[in-house]
Chains A and B, each alone.
Chain A
Amino acid sequence: MSDRSEKFAPRIVALYCANALDPKADLAAAVKAAHGFSFRPVVLPCSSKTELSHLLKLLAEGADAVQVIACPEGSCQFLVGSTRAEKRVARGRSLLSQINMGEERLGIARGRGLKVEELMDLLERRANLVRGLGKNPVSGEESK
């Protein structure tokens, strides 16, 4: 399928905890510099603000993937926030599998004070996983 070719540039929504990224990270520049995928960064006060319904709605509204970026276990300022986020993502992945959407459309990574390069690396990995699945069928766009 053509949408599984390297030309397919997955659209990723990156939901990140405010503490997971370097506060000096220039995300506006990173968005413009993204190559082979595009992403929309959304900052959260804690990764636990990601309700499962939010994650799935983003996919149902056309995102090819959703990447959650949480603090490492043990360093969440709300103690268990990142663990909650991880469990919600796991449940979401299981539900996506049940409907054959591909669990890799949803993922979580952990980090603290990540540099832009590290963020781009993990988004690139997510994009590579999603390329194998093809475009989100809900995107409404023709495969090119």
Chain B
Amino acid sequence: MIVAEWKPLPEILERLAGKKKLLLVGCATCTAECAAGGEREVETLAPLLRMAVARQGGALEVVIKTLERQCEWEFVEELAKLIPAADAVLSLACGIGVQALAERFPEIPVYPGVNTTALSIREKPGLWTARCEACGDCVLGDTFGICPVARCAKSLLNGPCGGTRKNGKCEVDENIDCVWTLIFERAKQRGQLEVLLKVRKAKDWSRSRHGGPGRIDREDLRV
């Protein structure tokens, strides 16, 4: 899922300076799953913002709404009735949701309340780790289902760098596994170490950020 985390509250409050009526919008999909932008987080952030502004001598009315998905126009439309009464919108969705609101309601400032960080898996409660970079040319078939693009600090595709620690951790952070150690171990477990020696085609990075904004155009899905 797409994961995100709250921006520091002082940063949010700086954005909201002078605003009187705020529409705080959550997203019940990805950012709800990572406890950053669902209904629960919206209900947690709203009183904090009200208190923070009151402490500065002001008053902020916060209207809350959580959409099923902020990245789908059908759901975004639910905000149409609430927008005219607001001075600003604070979105707790990922960057896609924030942009969707800003595009649909260009007449009002839409601010992000979270920093979108990665495409991650929940390893255990409260711990999300990146698993995918959405690079557009998946290599998982060659790497035993473990992604070196997302999980290697250097996105190395042909084996580990010289920085692997003796305990199999990455030199960048002792809490991160060296992904090439994981790939090696899985290949060994399957008895297929020779697969790692295979010379592979160069990865097509033009499908990633290097090729500009991604785009999938499926004419067959339109009528």
Binding site for B on A (CB under 8 A): 51-53, 56-57, 59-61, 95-96, 98-101, 136-138
Contacts and interface: CB of A to CB of B under 8 A. Distances in A.
B8 to A, nearest CB: 7
Interface stretch (B47-55, B69-77, B80-88, B201-209): B47-55
Given A56-B48, A137-B51, A99 B43 contact: no
B40 A60 contact: no
A92 to B, nearest CB: 9
A60 B10 contact: no
A101 B10 CA distance: 12
B11 to A, nearest CB: 10
Q: How large is the interface on B (under 10, 10 to 19, 20 to 34, 35 or more residues)?
A: 10 to 19
Given A56-B48, A99-B9, A100-B52, 7 more contacts: A56-B44, A57-B47, A60-B50, A95-B9, A95-B48, A96-B48, A138-B55
A99 B55 contact: yes
B46 to A, nearest CB: 8
Contact of B55 (A51, A53, A100): A100
Contacts of A101: 51-52, 55
Interface of B: 8-10, 13, 40, 43-44, 46-48, 50-52, 54-55, 57
Contact of A60 (B9, B13, B47): B47
Contact of A99 (B44, B46, B52, B57): B52
Contacts of B13: 99
Among B13, B50, B57, chain A packs the most CB atoms within 10 A around the CB of B50
A98 B9 contact: yes
A102 to B, nearest CB: 9
Nearest to B40: A53
A52 B13 CA distance: 20
Contacts of B44: 51-53, 56, 95
B35 to A, nearest CB: 10
Contacts of B54: 137-138
Contacts of B57: 137
Given A51-B40, A53-B44, A59 B51 contact: yes
Contacts of A56: 44, 47-48, 51
B48 A99 contact: yes
Contacts of B50: 60, 138
Nearest to A97: B9
A59 B50 CA distance: 10
Contact of B47 (A59, A100, A137): A59
B7 to A, nearest CB: 11
A53 B43 contact: yes
27 contacts: A51-B40, A52-B44, A53-B43, A53-B44, A53-B47, A56-B44, A56-B48, A56-B51, A59-B51, A60-B46, A60-B47, A60-B48, A60-B51, A96-B51, A98-B8, A98-B9, A98-B10, A99-B9, A99-B10, A99-B13, A99-B52, A101-B51, A101-B55, A136-B51, A137-B51, A138-B51, A138-B55
